[in-house]
Structure 1
Amino acid sequence: MAAFLVLQAARFGDLVQSKRLIRTLESRGRVHLGIEAGLAPLARLLYPAAEIHALHLHAQPQYQALKHNREILAQWQATDFQAVYNCNFSGMTTALCRCFEPELVHGYRPAPGGILRSAWARKAFRLSERRAVSPLNLVDFWAHFADSPVAADQVNPQARPGGQGLGVVLAGRESRRSLPVPVLAAVLETAFKALDGPPVRLLGSKAEQAAARKLLRLLPLRIQERTRDLSGKTDWPGLVDAVRGLDALITPDTGIMHLAAHLGVPVLAFFLSSASAHETGPYGRGHFIWQAARACAPCLESAPCPHATACLAPFRQSELLRSLATCLRGETGSQAPLPDDLQLWQSDLDALGCVLRLQAGSDPQARQRAAVRAALTEFLRLPKAAGDVFDAAALQTESAPAPAVPDDWLCQDLDWMLPPGRYC
């Protein structure tokens, strides 16, 4: 049986978002998955057919990490891998790839003087320069490290209520990307009413326990009595059990959001600041995302905000709550208007992968984003189907600016010299 190695050294959400690539390789042979040791229990739950290699990658000097990993490296050298997929632009994972012949490594591989990116990986770096028009979900970026990945509809289940109540993720890793507790309280109260008073589960790490207590104090007694605070109280299996079967999950851009999509739980996501739903939104059909759409968004996560997080303002307005209630009642055909600088998207799938369809608000970048998506699809030699976003209304909106995809930006001559994903 063919053997494949996937290196994914990033966080919780990135592990879940590697699913399309891993499912593709599982259809062709045995998958070995190299990840940070702390995520190994979760990886075994997500990918039970894979052989998990728990690596020491973070929180210690690189020479110590490599020393700890020597036994695993010896196992890899004794395995006849057909291909190695390095998902991270990382000195550590690239160093691990030095035990393989260079032609085996896809994505990012070691080279004299640094890290060599494949033609496909170089495109993602160009997209990061113009994130407002980037249409590529991270799941699909990693999936296309392999030729002909499995169809997008084979990745996650259709989002459907499971009868187990409402989940609320208290905050993400970056506070600027999360709703403040008073805003979250109003969102939760609206969803609780729209769903006729379901049980509620508060989800997060120990770091969110103070936020959970503050949230509970702001909620009416009838909601408090139906709420379980699970923040900091679940291990990986407990978290999976807490999310599985929910009717909906209220969340910022978090790993728990991707776990919910993995399980087919409908996601109600709120994206602002540096979070872009087109890049890291929930994968699959039937999820809803409210996206801040200021001219400065999405911003750089590591840079301070010069506008006092002005993108949060639309989430404080009553129009958002009416829009949320409309979605939960299944009345998406009659969406309430949204405040300026706010969009509502619903997730869908096309030939390239996950795509977002605008349900409310305006999208000045529609035609540009559709043109970029068409260029990516052409580069990958994917078939265009009727209804794909690059064939539909996004390219026909007269009020939107004309597409501008400079040849010297996204598609350089060098990219076409070898098949997608190869090095040149």
Structure 2
Amino acid sequence: EPGKSTICQLARMGDLVQMLPLISALPQGGSLKLICDADVLDWAEQLPQIDEIIPVNTRRMRQSTHGELSLPQVLRELDISVEKVSHFTDQAFYALNDHPVCDALAALVCHENQSLWVNPRLVLLRSYVRMIAAEHRWNRIHLSDLWASLAFPEKPDRNVNVPAKAAGRQFAKSVVEPLHQSGVRRIWAFILGSGGKYRRIAPEDFSAYWNHIAENSHIGLVLIGGRGEEELARRFLQNVDPRRNDVINLVGVCSPEELLGLFAEVDLVVGVDTGPLHWAAAVGTRVLGMYFAEAGFYDTGPYGQGHFVLVPDCPEYPCHPVVAEKCDYKCRRPFEDHRAIAELLKVINDELSPEEYSIPAGLHLHRSSLTAQGNRYEVVAGKANDPEIDYLADFVWKVFAEFDETIRKLPRIEGRYNDSGRSFQGGGIPRGTENQRDNFERLFNRWLGEIWKLPLPKAISSTAEFETKESAAGYLCAQKESLHQVDKNKSEFDLLKCESCL
């Protein structure tokens, strides 16, 4: 039923826009408040359906926090009064960040009823994300869809866009008009920067892509970047023929409203895993994301219909930055095949059939689509999906999709836990190859272990913490038993077919 809800999202601008499926999943007609970091307030103001935004300055706390925060410390450091936040919600509080600052705020807001934010579904989500952080290559569920599952959506509207405001579109039209007057038919945008320096592709590579696009291709280009990234634009332009008049430099000059208007006016946006790329996808413009190293596209790739992602053909991808540094970011080298990537951009621009796609050696190309299960990626060119990983993804989706409030009342599964509930033995192992069963069992038990290890604030009583975690663990085990029962009921033909394809 419609009511008062609060979302606490203290991460960066890219994570803000990836809340859209959650926002759309909430009951219409209620009020919605957002607690966000003050550094991204101007971006939060672009989101739809938000009734009130409460900015907090968490930069200093994030740099100094290494454990749980006390409520007095939160009030002192963030300069928040109890009266200001203690009555935000009477229905639900969505603490999206597994971080002490977010948890302390949630405990403060929900001090009269901690179950408004701590529940088995949140425990399942956070424990899964922690498990995947160590087993990144096994994930196939987008972070946006995980967040949306917190709202118990029956028929979530996955195709949610951010409308560009009239003032922003008017600005964009005035900017690109000279390109159209010069004969340009399509306009691209290159996002030169990134919040993480290890996710960047050098501006010299971007300029090399552009140099392979002929001047008579009737394509214009806009350079995008934030304040402080002007040097990237200078390096780009230094490597482009100064006589070309088909490039407009807007690095460091656009407000969020103007940037969204610009995204709405261009035909293709190209960049690495960075906040503006996600906002461009949310506006509804096609994007090509270049992902490598720790940037996993399945969980944080561009969300929506018909976007593209280039990823390295590396068995370690996605990997921890330490691993990437050891090999000197070898996974980034295929993006230095400038001619091949320029040709791919032209094919995407012309919207040719998949048979026409040719990609550089060492890369795979994926395209996004929206399904009843959320955001999915299909292989356009390169290595096919791994059936073993897809099998686990189907189970994970089943866990979150079939979750409902009744699991809070599930009885304890006696005799199934050992090591104080840290693992689950016997039954429930899905059919398939021996290797598949071993991997499934290993990942399942790791997920179960993360449930019991998950830290919760001291404001949650030990009894409530145990009961919440036990309900989450019991539900997870019940889903595994259900999967085992389905496998037992399969025909011999189905089992043979399943084992042969795996």
Structure 2: any 5+ residue segments left out of the alignment?
Answer: 66-71, 164-172, 174-184, 404-434, 450-469, 478-502
Q: Is the 8 A contact 2:32 2:49 kept in 1?
A: no
- Give the secondary-structure state (helix, strand or coil) at the position aligned to 1:39: helix
Distance in structure 2 (CA, Å) of the matches to 1:19 and 1:186 = 35
Question: Among residues 84, 87, 91, which one is paired with 2:93 in the alignment?
Answer: 84
- For residue 207 of structure 2, the aligned residue among 175, 185, 200 is 185
Partner letter of residue 160 of structure 2? V
| Contact 2:98/2:126 (<8 A) preserved | no
For residue 328 of structure 2, give the secondary structure of its aligned residue in structure 1: coil
> Residue 127 of structure 1 is aligned with which of 112, 126, 132?
132
Would you tell me which structure has more helix in proportion to its own residues?
2
TM-score normalised by L of structure 2 = 0.70
Report the equivalent of 2:390. 370
SS at match of 2:351: coil
Cα deviation digits, residues 9-37 of structure 1 (max 9, x gap): 01010111111112222526211100011
Q: Deviations over 1:253-274 (max 9, x none)?
A: 1100111011001101111111
Q: What's the counterpart of residue 267 of structure 2?
A: 247
- The aligned counterpart of 1:306 is 326
Question: For residues 272 and 154 of structure 1, what CA distance do their matches in structure 2 show?
Answer: 26
Q: Does residue 276 of the first structure (1) align with residue 296 of the second (2)?
A: yes
| SS of match in other structure, 2:131 | helix
**Mapped contact 2:272–2:290 kept (Cα < 8 A):** yes
Q: Output the CA distance in 1 between the equivalents of 2:155 and 2:161.
A: 12
Q: Confirm or deny: 8 A CA contact 2:21 2:158 kept in the other structure.
A: no
- Give the aligned partner of residue 16 of structure 2: 15
Deviation string, structure 1 residues 331-377 (Cα, Å, up to 9, x no partner) = 232144434431000001222210100000114x5212211221112
1:303, distance to aligned residue in structure 2 (A): 6.2
1:202-223: CA deviation from partner (whole Å, max 9, x where unpaired): 111233211101111212345x
**Higher-Rg member (1/2):** 2
Alpha-carbon shift at residue 417 of structure 1 (Å): 2.5
Contact 1:248 1:268 in 2 (8 A): yes
- Aligned match of 1:360 in 368, 371, 381? 381
Match of 1:286 in 2: 306
What is the alpha-carbon distance in structure 2 between the residues aligned to residue 106 and residue 253 of structure 1? 31
Mapped partners of 1:381, 1:195: distance in 2: 50
How many angstroms does 1:241 deviate by?
2.4
SS in 1 for 2:36: strand
SS in 1 for 2:443: coil
**How much identity, in percent, do the aligned residues show?**
21
Deviation at 1:195, TM superposition (A): 9.5
- 1:257–1:282: 8 Å Cα contact kept in structure 2? yes
Cα deviations by residue, 1:297-338 (Å, 9 ceiling, x for unpaired)? 212136661111111221122433333322222123214443
The Cα shift of 1:287 comes to: 0.6
Q: What is the deviation of 1:6?
A: 0.4
**Residue matched to 2:409:** none
Q: 1:406 to 1:48 in 2, by over 3 A?
A: closer
* Structure 1 partner of 2:115: 103
Q: Which AA in structure 2 matches 1:368?
A: E
Structure 1 letter corresponding to 2:199: R
Alpha-carbon distance in 1 for matches of 2:31, 2:114: 21
The answer on 1:236 being equivalent to 2:245 is no
Write the distance in 1 (CA, Å) between the matches of 2:320 and 2:140.
17
Query: Are the counterparts in 1 of residues 193 and 226 from structure 2 also a CA contact under 8 Å?
Result: no
Question: Structure 1's 292 and 285: CA in aligned 2 closer, same or farther, altered over 3 A?
Answer: same
1:188 aligned counterpart, secondary structure:
helix
Match of 2:474 among 417, 420, 424: 417
**1:175 is matched with which residue: 172, 177, 197?**
197
User: Is 1:214 aligned to 2:235, yes or no?
Assistant: yes
SS in 2 for 1:250: strand
Match of 2:69 in 1: none
CA shift at 1:131, angstroms? 1.1
* Matched residue type, 2:474: M
Contact preservation (8 Å) 2:74, 2:104:
no
Secondary structure class of the residue paired with 1:199: strand
Give 1:193 deviation, angstroms.
4.5
CA distance in 1, matches of 2:295, 2:354: 26
* Residue in 2 that maps onto 1:148: 153
Number of positions where the alignment pairs a residue of Structure 1 with one of Structure 2: 391
Question: Residue 149 of structure 1: CA displacement?
Answer: 6.1
Query: Distance between the aligned counterparts of 2:357 and 2:260, measured in 1?
Result: 34
What does 1:65-80 align with in structure 2 at a 5 Å threshold?
66-67=75-76, 69=78, 71=80, 73-80=82-89
Q: Deviations over 1:171-221 (max 9, x none)?
A: 21223212222221132345x549933332211123321110111121234
User: 2:119, 2:335 → 1: CA distance?
Assistant: 38
What is the DSSP-based 3-state SS (H/G/I as helix, E as strand, rest coil) of the residue aligned with 1:331? Answer: coil
Where 1:153 maps in the other structure, the secondary structure is coil
Does structure 2 retain, via aligned residues, the 8 Å contact 1:179–1:252?
yes
Asked if residue 406 in structure 1 is aligned to residue 411 in structure 2, the reply is no
- In the alignment, the residues of structure 1 paired with residue 305 and residue 332 of structure 2 have an alpha-carbon distance, to the nearest angstrom, of 26
Contact 2:210 2:342 in 1 (8 A): no
SS of the residue 1:312 aligns to: helix
Change (3 A) 1:333 1:80: closer
Give the aligned CA root-mean-square deviation in angstroms: 3.1
Q: Distance in 2 between the 1:375 and 1:21 partners? A: 21
Counterpart CA distance in 1 for 2:302 and 2:5 is 26
What's the offset of the Cα at 1:94? 0.8
Matched, 1:331 2:352: yes
Among candidates 124, 143, 149, match of residue 138 of structure 1 = 143
- Superposition deviation, residue 51 in structure 1: 1.1
Instruction: Give, as a single letter, the amino acid of the residue that structure 2 aligns with 1:306.
Output: K
* Cα pair distance change 1:301/1:107, threshold 3 Å: farther
SS of 1:417's equivalent?
A: helix
Contact 1:21 1:149 in 2 (8 A): no
Output the amino acid matched with 1:417.
G
Decide whether the 8 Å contact of 2:9 with 2:34 is kept in 1. yes
SS in 2 for 1:81: coil
Q: Show structure 1 runs of 5+ residues with no match.
A: 109-115, 384-400
Give, as a single letter, the amino acid of the residue that structure 1 aligns with 2:263. V
Aligned-partner Cα distance in 2 for 1:362–1:336: 14
